[in-house]
Amino acid sequence: MKLYLALLLSTRLIEVPLGLDRYLPVPDSNPLTIEKVALGKRLFFEKNLSRDSTIACATCHEPSRSYTDVWPKSIGVNSRRGEFRSPRIINRVYGKSFFWDGRAKSLEEQVMQPISNPLEMDLPIADAVTRLAMSAEYPGITLEVMRDALASYVRTILSGNSPYDRHVAGDKQALSDSAKLGLKIFRGKGGCVSCHLGPNLTDERLHITGIGRGSFKTPTLREVARQGPYMHDGSLSTLEDVIDYYDKGGNAGIGIDSEMHPLHLTQQEKLGLLDFLKALTGVIQEGL
């Protein structure tokens, strides 16, 4: 796998943005190819993968909105309301668990579930394959081909090269003084780095933060300023609301994570943290 990745990078089929781990954990069973990723992109925008042919993967994961949408909870066929906010699906090549509740352990498993989910696309997988096979656009399509292509395309959706990344790389002018204060709060007093760590700013683990009372996965903070609302249920409208929520220590309750406690941030510190989060907006790229 490492040899394959080295070849991929050396031939410039994929360029890993500044700030991300250059090792992409692509499974040996589903290596990236130009043809597979191109097919996956077509499938990502294919509305015939929904029962009434009205929505595609891209409906809830809009490229122009950092691969999420505007709704507190996703909206499926016949305006059915989903259980969760549509997560941003950037940098999922680094993922260790998928969906807000972590129920999928690979992208290959994850990409198929929305198609058959009654609250999302509501089309049995076998019917989806049959429908595509009847079209001249998808010769030789099978369940495995569809699954591997979609997973491969999602693996190429990357975000990096943000002001934060340039700062870490040595450009001391990349962050404003306020954002630098925010970074200090993020790493120290705010304790944000306890869960939002590493190149992708997530520990990929489930936590109880007091919203919805369940355990939900830490999302990446990359591109977080591009599109609200926030949290797994979309219950917080703005980043300012998110900062205020964590500043007060969340909603107290049984089982809440020990990291959740009042922070007593000043207004200047809150503004700095907001400016730092905005500095995580970088360059989004996709495809090979």
Alpha-carbon span 87 to 55, nearest angstrom? 17
The CATH number, out of the four listed (1.10.760.10, 3.30.70.360, 2.30.40.10, 3.40.50.2020), of the domain defined by the range 161-282: 1.10.760.10
Look up residue 175 and give its two tokens. Answer: 């962050």
Task: Encode pLDDT of 146-190 as tens digits.
Answer: 999 999 999 999 999 999 999 999 999 999 999 999 999 999 999
Query: What is the per-residue pLDDT for 15?
Result: 87
CATH H-level superfamily of 2-158? Cytochrome c-like domain (1.10.760.10)
What's the pLDDT score for residue 13? Answer: 65
Separation in Å, CA 190 to CA 118, 168, 208: 40, 19, 17
Per-residue model confidence as pLDDT tens digits over 210-244: 998 889 999 999 999 999 999 999 999 999 999 99
Say if 2-158 and 161-282 have the same CATH topology: yes
Residue ranges of the chain with per-residue pLDDT less than 50:
1-11
Nearest to 150 by CA among 68, 89, 195, 214: 89
Sequence ranges of the domains in the chain: 2-158, 161-282
How high is the pLDDT of residue 2?
A: 47
62, 55 contact by CB (below 8 A): no
What one-character-per-residue DSSP string does 142-168 give?
A: -HHHHHHHHHHHHHT-EEE--HHHHHH
Angle formed by the axes of helices 239-247 and 267-278, to 10°?
Answer: 130
Q: How far apart are CA 48 and CA 282, in angstroms?
A: 32
Buried b (16+ CB within 10 A) or exposed e, 139-154: eebeeebbbbbbbbbb
